[in-house]
Structure 1
């Protein structure tokens, strides 16, 4: 029994080292296919998360001077700007061609 156990241990060590040598000589890659159906599946939750992240969002003050005709000058200012709601009425996603090789 001890001889059989020693033999199995020896085989497992040899097979692991041989597999390691094979893997180091071969090139490896990972590929993934993202379909339009998959993009549509994740689109709505991602849009909801983006809206929750962006609202309420404060913006810097806006100031602008405008001359209307040559007679009147107008100074406009907007301050304390905050987006409280974003309405995304429609959105589309399309898979595109993208390839990236890691070396």
Structure 2
């Protein structure tokens, strides 16, 4: 498994933020977290995103197949519900750890 160099990632993130002309406070506002979360808690968010990526890769095909089967049986378009839950879970994977370690 690839190990992320946390110092290099932090420098990369700071460089991108500066290139865009954003302050930590502005970046935090875009991510719906505090400015302290941007400077200190990104490691927790990064870990949560790793877990979310793995879980979503495993569950998305199963949920999509279940939605297709439900649509065939009932005519109800469950794919929209699957998409909404998928997007909300992504939002939760970012916001929940950021708020928890704020």
TM-score (norm. length: structure 2):
0.30
Higher relative contact order structure (alpha carbons within 8 Å, sequence separation ≥ 6): 2
Bigger strand share:
1
Structure with higher helix content: 2
TM-score, normalised to structure 1, is: 0.30
